[in-house]
Amino acid sequence: MRTDFLPFHVPDIDEAEISSVEQTLRSGWLTTGPKVREFERQFAEFVGARHAIAVNSCTAALHLALDAIGIKEGDEVIVPTLTFAATAEVVFYLRARPVLVDCCPRTLNIDPERIKRAITSRTRAIVPVHFAGHPCHMDAIRDIARRHNLAVIEDAAHALPARYRNQMVGTIGDITCFSFYATKTITTGEGGMITTDNDEYAERMRIMSLHGISKDAWKRYTAEGSWRYDILFPGYKYNLTDIAAALGVEQLKKCVRFHEARRQMAYEFNHAFAKLGALSTPFVDEVVQHAWHLYVIQLNLAQLAISRDRFIEDLKRANIGTSVHFIPLHLHPFYRDTFHYEAHEFPCATQAFERIISLPLYTRMTWRDQRDVIEAVQDVVARNQR
């Protein structure tokens, strides 16, 4: 057994990021400025989108996206129940209502058949989450959206770089939102990016991300800018700093290499666990490129004498950090009590929640670290198999 604790995640930061941040610190310009613009340009090119707008979180990105498509009081927005708090909470920012939908058992992504059943005359948008980095069934989702005149805002917090039918995530829905939170596939500590091909949405989101102030507000303290500005709308304070963008520019350069390393590690896990009947490895549809942000196993509880929680405790005792993505929203007190959701209305997510464990999967892990994870999982299974 390993003697030191293997954390669930460690960001991959080296001298390139440190010196990039140092240069920005020495440049005299800390907040939104040339580094943010460089990061946006490079990100837009990387995913192939017309516009990329950097913000200080994916939560901010989702809020701005819903604002840009005109979500307002009384509207309904369809979101998966198996997601993080952010996906649904932003709907409340606009006094609208998130309508929770169950997932598909294999991918754990939102179920298009159940989306259809959740649509009412008040529905305005669908927010699919590419769970763990596996793109959702976008053909079906786009088809439903077209038929019902709904916008598609992708929560791609997990999905960089991912493809659906060879199309980069970031160029599929009306607007796509990415996260650069510390555990994500590339990080700026906290941060996010919005991509869209729609000029009007892009302009609105850019203006709203910085107090609703007219174009290029960030230039007002530069030689080329002017002290004069106009407030066009009551906006938000969601801009990314140049310090964070200095990290982002360097991380983006490594995105493909990071992805290849995670893909290889996922392959090693799949191979090592293939013969364990007590758990299922992640399903990957042949039409997608999985971003491998998370490696989520599903326990086959009928073959085990212990619960998922005990499995996690045993892994922790073996010095392996894990996590659970996610506690479905309908099981949280706020959603349960406000909307009277019952667990049986979301059979897939409710059952999946009892079985899922996210194993450590990141580029800072050595082959020895990965072998420790594999051996610990195999050992817990061997000791508790029915």
Ligand X SMILES: Cc1ncc(COP(=O)(O)O)c(C=O)c1O
Q: What is the contact surface with ligand X in residues (CB under 6 A)?
A: 57-59, 83-84, 86-87, 129, 155, 157-158, 179, 181, 192
Could you tell me the smallest distance in angstroms from the CB atom of residue 192 to ligand X?
5
Residue closest to 180 by CA, chosen among 194, 192, 170: 192
The amino acid present at 121, given as its one-letter code, is S
Give the shortest CB-312-to-ligand X separation in angstroms: 19
Residues 6+ apart with CB under 8 A from 156: 130, 162, 169, 170, 176, 177, 178
How many Cβ atoms sit within 10 Å of the Cβ of residue 303?
14
Cβ nearer to ligand X, comparing 84 with 258: 84
**Contact criterion met (CB below 8 Å) for 324 and 356:** yes
CB of 129 to ligand X, least distance (A): 5
From the candidates 116, 184, 253, 316, give the one annotated as an active-site residue. Answer: 184
CB of 8 to ligand X, least distance (A): 13
Q: Write out the two tokens for 97.
A: 């209502």
Residues in a beta bridge with 239: 55
User: Which residue type sits at 205?
Assistant: M
Complex with ligand X: residue 127 or 312, whichever CB lies closer? 127
CB of 57 to ligand X, least distance (A): 3
- List Cα–Cα distances, 248 to 242, 262, 334, 340, in angstroms: 9, 19, 35, 41
Distances from the Cα of 240 to the Cα of 24, 147, 199, angstroms:
13, 36, 20
Identify whether 316 is a catalytic site residue: no
Could you tell me which residues are beta bridge partners of residue 103?
A: 110
Give the Cα separation of 280 and 301 in Å (integer). Answer: 11
Catalytic residues: 184
